[in-house]
Structure 1
């Protein structure tokens, strides 16, 4: 019996390490779990074996049903927290450090999204890296491209001279013209009339 117990313990220690639970013998087909008694296991096994010996060919067809009740694993509850401004500011440094470690270049949307998400989670979990985060990174990339295009447009608009094509006797000729001269000749204000977007 001790060897059987050790065998059971070894088997279940592989499945659920450090959580050995008592093993029970089901005395009858309709016995409830509350009627199982692990302290009387040896007596119950001896009784079942004795009854099997009394039957014709009982020992050959002897089946022993043992039950081990394993408690359900307790899942850690993750309670969401409010994403207050203070919690978001607190998480910004953590997010910035994670982005720096992973070598991710991000615009303003990515760290803001990650900090808000992290502020809602309890302390300890890792900074999220999911599809929404990847989409926000794409938004940041597109915004950076738009910003650089707008900046180039602004530089062209505020430049002192521009390349202008003029047709002289039906032939297009490229000329560098001072913008302030054209504005004064056409009566336009000294700022660009084209919006930056």
Structure 2
């Protein structure tokens, strides 16, 4: 099984691009699984009574976020291994999470060593496109990312964090641009990098 981690800041279009990855791989009859790291963390956080929605998680104390990250990593690997040798596993997550206490690495040592991906993808777009996508997405609360300067800062921190994580496991880091209006371009680039 090959594992790729697809990261990007809120509003960059990870969910849309990964749904295109799913479409393409389904048409090719490939064995794959797309796993949202936040879903794994959220399911645990809700069941333990720590939060009631996803956007509250990044406001939890850092120690609690680290605990949830570790539980999620173990469960993701367990689920990915079920794909067998020829399967492709994609993890939808963030390289960094902006919290009141500062930037939290989304893929710290204790997590990245468990996941051990082959590639860490940085899905990026222009800050203006990201801001516009955030404004259109009424289903999420992202006011803490709704500023061009914060978006630029977060993109830079995500790059540093992805490279630092990659060094620990010998993964490559690939920047993939999500062009406005055609997420299939980014999806095809992600798939071809996993082959």
Q: TM-score range by the shorter chain?
A: under 0.3
Pair member with larger Rg? 1
Larger strand proportion of the pair? 2
Larger helix proportion of the pair? 2
Of structures 1 and 2, the one with the larger relative CO (CA 8 A, separation 6+) is 2
